[in-house]
Structure 1
Amino acid sequence: MHSTLIIREATPADIPAIRQIAFDTWPSTYGAILSQEQIDYMLAWMYSPEALQKQMQEGHQFYIAELDHTTLGFAGVSQEGSTKFKLHKLYVVPTTQKTGAGKALLQKVIGFARDNGGAKLILQVNRHNNAKGFYEKQGFSVLDEVKLDIGNGFFMDDYIMQYDLNNQS
């Protein structure tokens, strides 16, 4: 029997799975880039059950990637203006990267943004995160660089990347 990757809309019942993936992926994604203290701070800030619930209530659309009833990854997107959307989160469990789950999640986000009148999809990616290359392969380009103070003496040192929803297939 052939397994099929499923991308579905997340619900509040998926918050524990979203948290688990974040906690599983961040050490390998950011361990060589950020201090453990900053990783812990950011996970608590962005991935507490309350923070995720609030994001969902404020209109962030989350998607879950599943294969054989196993959650492989998730993405979160929101509308940031009349025609601008922002991909806030896209993480795939490290042991299942390169399975197509990340690309499938991104395609679902692009479809969501297009279906809701989006012209641009933006994201922030740490300047030292290997995911930058993934996004470039998917048609994103660097728009700007930012260094954002996120509190507790920590900063996000990111590229802002953009995808033109009107000119891409």
Structure 2
Amino acid sequence: MIRIATLDDIPVIQEIAYQTWPSTYGGIISEEQIRYMLDLMYSTESLVQQMSKGHQFFLMEKDNNQVADTAISGFASVSDEGNGIFKLNKLYVLPTAHKTGTGKALLNTVKAYATQNGGKELILQVNKQNPAIAFYKSQGLIIKSENIFELDHGFVMDDYEMSLPLT
């Protein structure tokens, strides 16, 4: 079952991020950059700010009576960027839930949310070496452009922008 996340769900979002980032990015960016990015995007203050700015977070919750912290297997967030463009900001699934349909279900929920809110296009940024690119391509997204973003402390994000028409 997919449900909308609330401020009370921030700890579980953080837990999934801290479990998925090292396995996703460990061979791509340095441990120092992983720590920096996690703090930048997943601190409680940052997540509260994202939610208050209208980023919609969705959680994949198992349909059973497990303890809440272990019942969430993934999350996604999407924001309205204006002019019919919605951005998938985050989509992370615990390694134990890969290849279970969790990522596809979360992406479909994001697409439906964007469409229901007037979205014409869904975009996302993904590291050029992220294995999730194959998943996104399998879901119909195409590479639209390449971008390098300079961050503090000399870190960079070397990303593709991918796109999917929603109409």
Aligned partner of 2:56 in structure 1 is 61
Report the structure, 1 or 2, having the larger helix content: 2
Normalised by the length of structure 1, the TM-score is 0.94
DSSP-derived class of the 1:87 partner = strand
Q: Which runs of no fewer than 5 residues in structure 1 stay unpaired? A: 1-5
The alignment yields a C-alpha RMSD, in angstroms, of 0.6
Residue 78 of structure 1 pairs with residue 84 of structure 2: no
d(CA) in 2 for partners of 1:45, 1:154:
12
Aligned partner of 2:41 in structure 1 is 46
Aligned partner of 1:20 in structure 2 is 15
Deviations 1:34-88 (Å, cap 9, x if unpaired)?
0000000000000000000000000000000011351000000000012000000
d(CA) in 1 for partners of 2:144, 2:152:
24
Residue 31 of structure 1 pairs with residue 53 of structure 2: no
d(CA) in 1 for partners of 2:84, 2:96:
35
DSSP-derived class of the 1:136 partner = helix
Give the count of matched residue pairs: 161
DSSP-derived class of the 1:88 partner = strand
Find runs of 4+ consecutive structure 1 residues off by over 4 angstroms.
none
Aligned partner of 2:159 in structure 1 is 158
Give the Å deviation of 1:151: 1.2
